[in-house]
Chains A and B, each alone.
Chain A
């Protein structure tokens, strides 16, 4: 009955609006893509089960709103994340430059115990629009290296290129993070000696 439950990992996706966060998630979970743009309001949630190194893992993916006016979930949103995915648009240099602030925002809000080693993954999306690329691979990789070697993937939500790999890496990193956490739960035992009468009087009349 008390079977070991599978691991559940909370993954949140951050990035400017329109970089393709929801599309990436949809491609990964539902294998679908649409050209229509619909701003995410607040957040969206999806669950995906994956096999990582023979271990069944459930990803609870929190897809956020990139637009500032929809961002008000605050700390509850970032709290307890096991991995954070930063997404930018390869054709939009501004979205790349904003990665810094997204990362900072996350670290401030989520307060992970070991900020330097918290697992991030960076995705440069819209690889299919190679012709309009504005952020070079080298530039992005360099930035990632300076931030404690964040893994970097160039993906296309439209063609699904690299999406699976990227999310597998995300799950692996999150799992590693989870493993490093000491998971032992040891509640205290009540000590009553302090207020216990020193002499236990046998109750009369019972024998």
Chain B
């Protein structure tokens, strides 16, 4: 309890502050952060790099490039601004910011300071109008970037012994690293195919409808397409990579091989096994392994250790264990403080409602303290007439994010790094948000000099690679989503109750919902929905989706039953958490918010509802946050489930919907659609075809593709080396930072952002039509050509990836 109170002065920033700081800092971020890479005058840099860049980065109306050599995590973290360099074109802006920040420390009155910051922002923007002044031509993509990449290689090769401490598996991968310098296409190598080679031929799932090998294993192509081969890529007939090597199915094969051919759902797996066998016959694994760049997903189940421990994002909902809540802990035991991401919910009376870790009862002193902090801060914002409130507190490597939602208050406490190291401390000094003056005087040790240098690019990571990135905007979005999930369970009626009776104990109403809230948090960090506010469809061949849709919306009375349709508001067919198809009534049409859908899916997937056929009240906060609807939930297909929202709770409706479910399953089964769906489920999340990656010349780590018009997204599987929750989370948090940065700079569409970290390059491309989020190993070159090709290819796959037509009931 003393934790929150004591200690160093806490910089408290209203959002205006942080916002302004970031905006002002962004231009500084153009320049590099690494000491040795301070750029020249912008004009020279532009001239010098113009030629280099020409083919390097897609041009568009606004493009931000951030190169972050020295350290990646924290740059993407709370303060991009602190990376401003003296040599950057925006020294003035930074100076102003620093001055303002200095005042900030002496300020008495936050609202006033917010104003000051805002004016700085405007000044910065004026000074640096992105489009005309800096624009494309001035992108400070270092001209020596290629050289530095080579250095990076060189270092890796020479430090090869450093990986001796690696695990066995990592050693297995070492040959890759050794051959990397020779075999792997360098950024300069024109690996990418010419324009005619547009990978339109690459197909994912133009699958014949029936279970007879709907999706073929990628034979040969992945093996043959060695990185240096520049001949016409064997795109024909390429279908699908076995995803993020669906580990679970693999296990099932071993466990019950006989069933593989008997059950519909398992046919797929049997085929896949055969596919794997064939492949093994044609191409000895070892060979292809050594010839493949390390980051390239090769489609085979990874053999490394982390993979075995991995909990796929598809398993989040089915694997919650109450033990992870650690109910024996509270704020008096050290273990409680070791959890990285706390979330606490309490009432405005300070009574605990829910805690992600520990016993709510015994944390009541802690929630009392938090509520005292919030209400104390509120007295500082009295002049803002209730429009402002405490947003976050940064203290050391922790960030406390606060959110008030009526009488419910939410706090997340996240730790950016585990433990402290010299490396981190130098970054902290650089990053110190409230005390900018310490940055120059602090002896900054370039992390590359002290930290164990990665010897094997994406495979071996130094400790700090797992540092988490937290920004207020991410945490605020998370807290808001958690609040909506609470409302989904309780409705806004809880606000009224708490206002009438402030001492009301909400915990009694939340019995058994630990999994729901916890899964939402875990899922949010590892999936795209949190990034783009949308939902993910199950990739499915369009004819199959039409069959599924028709079966789904075929409501009619069965036998002597009643027709449930008049009360049906929406019907959703789910494959795990992905939507196969859905139909909505005209009552709710256009009002089904994607976030509502996501929290509904999380609710039905997380609780006991998943295991049976049930009928439960739910509230859709965006649709109507004050009242319940009723949901018929049937997950008897285990991976396949039906959710029907109904406006009536009468019992006949339940039986009518139950009959509907069985008829629908029959229809799906008899048409072969069920097999197609199960096949697709087994391949989720989909990996990009190797042949496509070869054509593009970029072994993408991850690609996310979002269509704003449909509010749907596709997220590819992570490449093999990144299939670990911590790394997935980290990449998503960088995406978040990129997105936030674009939003904060008020970049007009279309806009692009390029960001280099120590190991990865990120590219975000937002247009009115689509948003592309992608991430590739740093040593590869993301060129205009390859990215355009990627988008074009994704466009050709849209009918397979997305639900283009959501019919009205």
Contacts and interface: CB of A to CB of B under 8 A. Distances in A.
B335 to A, nearest CB: 17
Interface string B616-638: 01010000101111100000000
A52 to B, nearest CB: 15
Interface in A166-207: 178, 181, 183, 185-192, 195-197, 200, 202-203, 205-207
Given A5-B508, A203-B807, A206-B554, A189 B502 contact: no
Given A2-B512, A76-B350, A80-B351, A190 B624 contact: yes
Contact of A196 (B322, B554, B587): B587
A47 interface: yes
B791 interface: no
Nearest to A42: B372
Interface string A20-51: 00000000000000000000001111110100
Contacts of A43: 368, 372
B628 A80 contact: no
A139 interface: no
A69 interface: no
A5 B617 CA distance: 22
B251 interface: no
Contacts of B587: 192, 195-197
A113 to B, nearest CB: 7
B573 interface: no
A4 B508 contact: yes
B809 interface: yes
Across the A-B interface, the 3 shortest Cβ-Cβ residue pairs: A80-B349, A76-B375, A2-B511
Interface in B537-573: 550, 553-554, 556, 565-566, 569
Given A8-B352, A185-B509, A203-B807, A197 B586 contact: yes
Nearest to B556: A207
A72 interface: yes
B438 interface: no
B348 A187 contact: no
B647 A10 contact: no
Given A49-B361, A73-B376, A181 B350 contact: no
A81 interface: yes
A49 B624 CA distance: 40
A8 B352 CA distance: 9
Contacts of A7: 505
A6 B503 contact: no
B369 interface: yes
Interface stretch (B81-89, B486-494, B792-800): B486-494
Interface string B218-260: 0000000000000000000000000000000000000000000
Given A8-B351, A200-B566, A45 B369 contact: yes
Contact of B553 (A10, A191, A203): A203
A181 B362 contact: no
Contact of B349 (A58, A79, A185): A79
A73 B368 CA distance: 12
B516 to A, nearest CB: 12
Nearest to A189: B628
B554 A207 contact: yes
A89 B309 CA distance: 62
B490 A81 contact: no
A120 interface: no
Nearest to B566: A200
B767 to A, nearest CB: 34
B566 A76 contact: no
Contacts of B351: 8, 10, 60, 80
A183 B508 contact: yes
A3 interface: yes
B365 interface: yes
Given A113-B501, A192-B647, A80 B347 contact: yes
Given A5-B507, A183-B508, A185-B509, A10 B349 contact: yes
Best-buried of A42, A46, A60, A62 by chain B (most CB within 10 Å) = A60
Given A45-B1, A187-B627, 15 more contacts: A1-B322, A8-B351, A45-B364, A46-B365, A47-B362, A61-B365, A76-B350, A76-B372, A178-B503, A187-B619, A189-B628, A190-B629, A191-B627, A197-B586, A200-B565
Q: Is the interface of B mostly helix, strand, loop or mixed?
A: mixed
A198 to B, nearest CB: 10
Interface in A52-98: 58, 60-62, 72-77, 79-82
Given A76-B371, A200-B566, A81 B503 contact: yes
B361 A8 contact: yes
B441 interface: no
A111 to B, nearest CB: 9
Given A60-B364, A80-B347, A192-B587, A72 B376 contact: yes
A48 to B, nearest CB: 9
A50 to B, nearest CB: 12
A134 to B, nearest CB: 33
B375 A77 contact: yes
Interface string B1-27: 100010000000000000000000000
Nearest to A202: B565
Interface string B564-588: 0110010000000000000000110
Nearest to A203: B809
20 contacts: A1-B512, A6-B361, A10-B350, A42-B376, A43-B372, A44-B1, A45-B364, A45-B366, A47-B361, A60-B364, A76-B372, A79-B502, A178-B505, A183-B505, A187-B490, A189-B617, A191-B627, A191-B647, A192-B569, A206-B807
B497 interface: yes
B493 A206 contact: no
Interface residues of A, number: 52
A207 B374 CA distance: 57
A206 B553 contact: yes
Contacts of A1: 322, 511-512, 608
Contacts of A189: 617, 627-630, 649
A79 B374 CA distance: 14
Nearest to A9: B503
Contact of A82 (B352, B497, B503, B554): B503
A197 B501 CA distance: 39
B808 interface: yes
Contacts of B505: 5, 7-8, 178, 183
Given A187-B627, A188-B493, A206 B372 contact: no
A72 B379 contact: yes
Contact of B628 (A45, A47, A187, A195): A187
Interface in A99-157: 110, 113
Best-buried of B5, B349, B494 by chain A (most CB within 10 Å) = B349
B640 to A, nearest CB: 20
Contacts of A207: 554, 556
B550 A206 contact: yes
B374 A76 contact: yes
Contacts of A183: 504-505, 508
Nearest to A59: B364
Nearest to A205: B550
Given A42-B376, A45-B369, A76-B375, A187 B493 contact: yes
Nearest to B500: A113
A200 B375 CA distance: 51
A203 B571 CA distance: 14
A79 B351 CA distance: 10
A49 B365 CA distance: 12
Contact of B647 (A181, A188, A190, A197): A190
Nearest to A80: B349
A171 to B, nearest CB: 14
B367 to A, nearest CB: 8
Best-buried of B364, B366, B501 by chain A (most CB within 10 Å) = B364
B631 to A, nearest CB: 12
Contacts of B497: 185
A174 to B, nearest CB: 9
Given A1-B511, A206-B550, A206-B554, A58 B364 contact: yes
